[in-house]
Amino acid sequence: MGIYSVLGENLEQVKESLYTGKSGIGIDPRRTEMGFRSSLTGILPRPNLKGMLSRRERVGLPEQGEYAFMSTKQALDNAGITQDYLDNNEVGILFGNDSSAVPVIEAIDNMREKKDSTLLGSGSIFQSMNSTVTMNLSVILKLRGINLTVCGACASGSHAIGLGYFLIKQGLQDMIVCGGAQEINPESMCSFDGLSAFSVNHNDPTKASRPFDKDRDGLIPSGGAATVIIESLESAKRRGANIIAEVIGYGFSSNGDHISVPNVDGPVKSLEKAIKDANISPKDIDYINAHATSTPVGDMNEAQAIARVFEGCNVPVTSTKSQTGHEMWMGGASEVIYSILMMQNNFVAANINLDNPDEYSSKLNIPNKRIDHKIDTFLSNSFGFGGTNSTLIVKKFVE
């Protein structure tokens, strides 16, 4: 696995940030100048890929594609997968990504000014499409398996891993590069800001993301990329891989309800389907990484869904979005990595900024300080606009 996030640019840095409860949130002055309601955002530097990729390989990569290249390169290196391996085996790619705003805006601005499409350059089309990440990485890595982008709003990254797991379980693929990528620029976030869903706690950016807390006032957009390499057990054993964990369950559902307001029944169905698919019972889950984004309705409905499915379990529940902000298309993948890092290091990261639980979150076991805790199996929720829900269950690998 590999990560490029507001909590760090590699697994070790991210683990340390989770352990210490560091926030990746700050203020972007450009948003203030542009007329945003909220200038809060995850803060992440753009990587410099010159020297790592050729000009032709870089030209088609937008911001989130650069993040995805960084997390994927790391994941492949960590998994011991060489270009020679990719050249000689059928490896696929499934990534969650649901926007690519800046290249679209730049192309339209250019057209309006110059009235000549031949002056847009060759990279614009490849940067503009939602499939930009899988389109570019499959060419850079010369992949020959499934090649598909999953657009499932804020559950995209989670669905990508879930669908990859299904393909492998069905015996249709041996190995798939899965993940999620999220652009972090203001242009991509202005229309979401217009819904007044973002926190305006500008006085205290690191305290602004407060999932499950009564005093929350909205989410904070964030981004980066996360990659996990999933493969069949046979494939992993054949190549002598260091197996980190097993995906054992994937559940999904659609609320069939409001476009932006989540409900309780849809998430409950997703949770129950994942648990059934994993062939375990709720008490077997040692940790829940909640979707909770720090919006009142979303957090409260998820808390009710968790309470209903996990009644009597007292399992620790946290939202790592308290530290990262909402990583949207990426979040479902990054949160699996955050949870694995906790699983590997026997702790649950604090749900920071939870000072006053609301009436629903008070019924859950949500630690606001880091706790030492052995995790063998965890569950990760991701929900998105349109009422799309995805739940993954991951287990520590034991021979």
Partner 1 sequence: MNREEVIDKINDFLIDEFELEADQLTPDALLKDDLEIESLDFVDIVVIVEKEFGLKINGAEMKEVKTLDQFYTYIHTNLNK
For residue 341, which of 226, 210, 263 has the smallest C-alpha distance? Answer: 226
Q: Is 242 in the site for partner 1 (CB under 8 A)?
A: no
Helix, strand and coil percent figures for the chain, each rounded to 5: 40, 20, 40
238 contacts: CB under 8 Å, gap ≥ 6: none
Active site residues: 154, 291, 326
Please list, in sequence order, all residues whose beta carbon lies within 8 angstroms of the beta carbon of residue 110, skipping any fewer than 6 positions away.
Answer: 119, 120
> DSSP character for 138?
H
Question: What 8-state DSSP symbol labels residue 40?
Answer: E
Minimum CB distance to partner 1, residue 136 (Å): 13
Residue whose CB is less far from partner 1, 34 or 59: 59
x/- mask, partner 1, residues 58-97, rule CB under 8 A, reads: -x--------------------------------------
Q: Which is nearer to partner 1, 50 or 312 (CB)?
A: 50
Nearer to partner 1, 123 or 249 (CB): 123
The token duo for 374 is: 């052995």
Q: C-beta of 55: minimal distance to partner 1 in Å?
A: 5
Smaller CB distance to partner 1: residue 51 or 312? 51
Binding mask 95-124 for partner 1 (x = CB under 8 A): ---------------------x-xxxxxx-
Q: How many residues bind partner 1 (CB under 8 A)?
A: 11
Beta carbon of residue 131, minimum distance to partner 1 (angstroms, whole number) = 17
Letters for 40-59 (x = contact with partner 1 by CB under 8 A, - = none) are: --------------xxx--x
2 in Cβ contact with 72 (< 8 Å): yes
CB 27, CB 95: distance < 8 Å: no
Torsion of CA 266, 271, 248, 311, to 10 degrees: 180
Q: Which C-beta is closer to partner 1: that of 118 or that of 170? A: 118
Contact 282, 275 (CB under 8 A): yes
- List contacts with partner 1 (CB under 8 A): 54-56, 59, 116, 118-123
